[in-house]
């Protein structure tokens, strides 16, 4: 046995303590295992990496903390290689599971541990926690895979070129776009193969300029397919660089814009057609942006105000001396911007180019973007000066005006039954021809039978033509066609009779009429006004006596009431689309009066204008829906000509009820003037 003197022993102890301090101070783990792989020594850093207390970790085998049998096998193989070759191993990576279940990646070295005689007794090494590095490597790998996937699946062409302008890589979209089967066919191709000859010098110059100035070459140009065909493309470029920032090549993103060019041409042509169409419209059309600059000004605006499109486009509308009532219009424009509904400005005063005063009918609408944000205001208008003059002059001819406005509706009501009467008549014409052919064959059969001739062939002919003309079908459908035609004729007759009864010639004398029947005729005449917006219910008093009146003028009043009710419901439905319209007409026989009630669930009448509704030219309807004369004339007819009364009960948002009371057989002052009794 070797012995040491006290000084030597002290030196050994000091040396051992020094190395122990060093081992405990380093961040890396130090370990020693015997030839079976069991831990025989390790520093605190190694214990911390594995997450075990030192006393518990002593003697553990790698199979107890390695993450998988694959990691255990990997470590054992490395130890065997070190044992067999005697050479150290570095960079051994494996995954462990700490005591608390955390997964870590370690990188270790391994070398032989020998005794004093040089005999291998185990292995030793340094271990380092590379979990964060491993995560970064995995993240980088995932990022590279993700970018490769993006490039591969991109709908645009993505191509990488080296500094000699040769293809290094191109995604499947690019290969397909340029007409190549796969990437192998396109690798190494020179960039000018894809550029038309007339653009080649410019393209090379742009890339050289890109390298010199770092200004990307982004443009639209024609490219060439493998078969030599040109197509328009939009390209974007970037420079690839190495770690030192030196250029290594180019990335080109290309997109086939053939469809976009076609769409742009279509849109341009459409825009020109729409502009031409708008400029041919006889209405004023002005578009005003959110900051009040004029975006559009059509030829009718030029004609009415004397300013050309060139003079006003891009200017603030309030800075242009348009000769209209600015105070009123500015207020309504602001109102339109705050709300989402159209705003009407009726009878806006302006000075015509002739210098005379005139009136405009204006409508303001918000123009919204596809995303729903408010963008502009559209001013639509017309010079209604002449119309207003005519309306004033034709006030007493309001009945004829109403009949004219209902003509299209009446024609529509007549057209439907007339159409299927016509269709059935044409069917009967064709059917008659078929029946005549059958009857002719029967006539031949009958004549031959009378003469005692051979019938066998004729019978076959009769059966053939009967089948050919489908006699059973004709016998079944001809009666149906006749019945339908008769129903249609009865419907037309009913409508014509209603119009006839409604349109009494202006009578200077009163006469007795059935007011219930007059209401039914008026309902028929006005059907096209109310049938699309409301249901109409009648509650008529069957014991109503005949009414002594002026039929034509009274029918006009009833028509006004029904049409007004329909318009009120239509207005309410614009504010509340779910509202179901209903009009109720009621007649009552009271002691001294006949009462007619017209009730609707429309928009109602605001209290502040209730007293004005019977004033001449007063109207709350939008332009084109009324002249403001209907109720004024109705009041005159009921009160002055018939000695009755007319009043209204109304609640905004719920509807109105007009109540007309007509005296039974009462003589008025007007009767003396018109020759009445």
pLDDT digits (tens, 9 = 90+) for 653-672: 889 999 999 998 744 444 44
Asked if the domains at 281-393 and 504-674 fall in one CATH topology, the answer is: no
- Taking CB atoms within 8 Å and a gap of at least 24, the contacts of 519-525 are 519/558, 519/585, 519/587, 519/596, 521/497, 521/555, 522/498, 522/555, 522/558, 522/559, 522/562, 523/562, 523/585, 524/413, 524/494, 524/495, 524/498, 524/499, 525/406, 525/410, 525/498, 525/499, 525/559
Give the pLDDT score at 667: 44
Q: How far apart are CA 468 and CA 446, in angstroms?
A: 20
Domain edges within the chain: 28-136, 154-261, 281-393, 400-499, 504-674
Task: Give percent of the chain above pLDDT 90.
Answer: 16
Kindly report, residue by residue over 322-354, the tens digit of the pLDDT: 888 888 888 888 888 888 788 888 888 888 888
Pairing outcome for strands 581-589 and 534-539: parallel
Would you tell me the crossing angle of helices 456-468 and 398-450 to the nearest 10 degrees? Answer: 160
Q: Is 3.30.450.20 the CATH number for 281-393?
A: yes
Contact 130, 138 (CB under 8 A): no
CA atoms within 13 A on the CB side of 85: 11
Helix then strand then coil, % of the chain, to nearest 5? 50, 25, 25
219 phi, psi to nearest 5 deg: -160, 175
Q: How far apart are CA 549 and CA 643, in angstroms?
A: 10
Give the pLDDT score at 64: 87
Contact 306, 401 (CB under 8 A): no
- H or E element: which one contains 184? helix 183-186
pLDDT over 60 at 72, yes or no: yes
Q: Which of 609, 612, 506, 499 is nearest to 552 (CA)?
A: 506
Give Cα 81 distance to the centre of its chain.
Answer: 71
Hey, what CATH topology would domain 504-674 get?
Heat Shock Protein 90 (3.30.565)
- Structure tokens given for 207: 């890339």
Right CATH number for 154-261 from 3.30.450.20, 3.90.1150.10, 3.40.50.150, 3.40.50.2300? 3.30.450.20
Hey, what CATH topology would domain 28-136 get?
Beta-Lactamase (3.30.450)
Give the pLDDT score at 556: 81
Pairing outcome for strands 357-368 and 374-383: antiparallel
Q: Confidence class of residue 477 from pLDDT cuts 50, 70 and 90?
A: confident
Strand partners, 235: 219, 254
The single residue listed with the structure tokens 């570095």 is 90
SS3 state at 341: coil
């Amino acid at each position: 046995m070797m012995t040491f003197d006290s000084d030597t022993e002290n030196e050994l102890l000091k040396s051992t303590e020094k190395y122990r301090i060093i081992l405990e101070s380093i961040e890396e783990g130090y370990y020693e295992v015997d030839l079976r792989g069991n831990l025989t020594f390790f520093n605190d850093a190694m214990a911390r990496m594995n997450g075990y207390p030192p006393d518990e970790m002593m003697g553990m085998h790698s199979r107890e903390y390695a993450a998988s049998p694959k990691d255990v096998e990997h470590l054992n193989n490395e130890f065997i290689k070190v044992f067999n070759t005697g050479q150290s191993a570095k960079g051994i990576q494996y995954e462990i599971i700490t005591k608390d279940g955390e997964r870590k990646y370690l990188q270790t070295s391994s070398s032989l541990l020998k005794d004093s005689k040089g005999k291998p007794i185990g292995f030793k090494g340094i271990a380092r926690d590379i979990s964060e590095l491993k995560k970064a490597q995995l993240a980088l790998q995932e990022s590279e895979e993700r970018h490769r996937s993006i490039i591969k699946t991109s709908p645009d062409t993505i191509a990488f070129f080296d500094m000699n302008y040769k293809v290094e890589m191109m995604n499947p979209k690019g290969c397909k776009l340029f007409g190549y089967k796969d990437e192998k066919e396109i690798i190494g191709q020179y960039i000018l193969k894809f550029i038309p000859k007339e653009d080649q010098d410019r393209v090379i110059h742009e890339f050289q300029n890109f390298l010199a100035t770092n200004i990307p070459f982004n443009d639209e140009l024609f490219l060439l397919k493998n078969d030599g065909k040109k197509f328009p493309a939009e390209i974007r470029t970037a420079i690839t660089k190495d770690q030192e920032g030196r250029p290594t090549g180019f990335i080109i993103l290309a997109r086939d814009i053939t469809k976009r060019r076609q769409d742009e041409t279509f849109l341009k042509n459409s825009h020109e057609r729409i502009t031409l169409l708008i400029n041919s419209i006889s209405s004023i059309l002005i578009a005003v942006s959110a900051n009040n600059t004029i975006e559009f000004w059509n030829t009718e605006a030029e004609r009415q105000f004397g300013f050309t499109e060139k003079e006003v486009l891009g200017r603030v509308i309030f800075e242009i001396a348009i000769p209209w009532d600015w105070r009123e219009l500015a207020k309504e424009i602001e109102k339109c911007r705050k709300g989402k509904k159209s705003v009407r400005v009726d009878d806006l005063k302006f000075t015509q180019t002739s210098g005379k005063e005139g009136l405009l009918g204006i409508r303001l609408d918000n123009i919204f973007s596809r995303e729903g944000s408010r963008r502009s205001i559209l001013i639509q208008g017309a010079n209604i000066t002449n119309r207003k003059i005519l309306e004033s002059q034709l006030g007493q001819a309001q009945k004829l005006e109403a009949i004219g406005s209902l003509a299209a509706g009446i024609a529509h009501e007549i057209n439907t039954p007339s159409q299927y009467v016509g269709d059935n008549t044409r069917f009967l014409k064709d059917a008659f021809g078929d029946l005549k052919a059958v009857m002719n064959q029967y006539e031949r059969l009958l004549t031959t039978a009378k003469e005692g001739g051979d019938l066998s062939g004729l019978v076959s002919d009769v059966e053939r033509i009967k089948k050919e003309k489908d006699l059973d079908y004709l016998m079944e459908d001809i009666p149906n066609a006749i019945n339908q035609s008769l129903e249609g004729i009865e419907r037309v007759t009913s409508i014509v009779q209603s119009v006839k009864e409604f349109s009494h010639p202006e009578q200077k004398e009163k006469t007795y009429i059935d007011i219930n029947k007059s209401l039914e005729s008026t309902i028929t005449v006005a059907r096209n006004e109310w049938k699309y917006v409301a249901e109409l219910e009648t509650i008529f008093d069957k014991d109503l006596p005949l009414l002594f009146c002026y039929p034509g003028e009274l029918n006009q009043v009833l028509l006004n009431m029904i049409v007004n009710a329909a318009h009120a419901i239509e207005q309410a439905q614009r504010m509340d689309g779910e509202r179901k319209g209903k009009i109720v007409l009621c007649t009552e026989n009271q002691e001294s009066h006949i009462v007619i009630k017209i009730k609707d669930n429309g928009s109602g009448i605001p209290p502040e204008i209730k007293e004005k509704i019977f004033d001449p030219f007063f109207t709350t309807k939008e332009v084109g829906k009324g002249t403001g004369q209907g109720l004024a004339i109705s009041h005159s007819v009921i009160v002055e000509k018939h000695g009755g009364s007319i009043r209204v009960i109304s609640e905004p948002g719920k509807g109105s009820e007009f109540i007309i009371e007509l005296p039974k057989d009462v003589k008025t002052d007007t009767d003396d003037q018109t020759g009445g009794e």
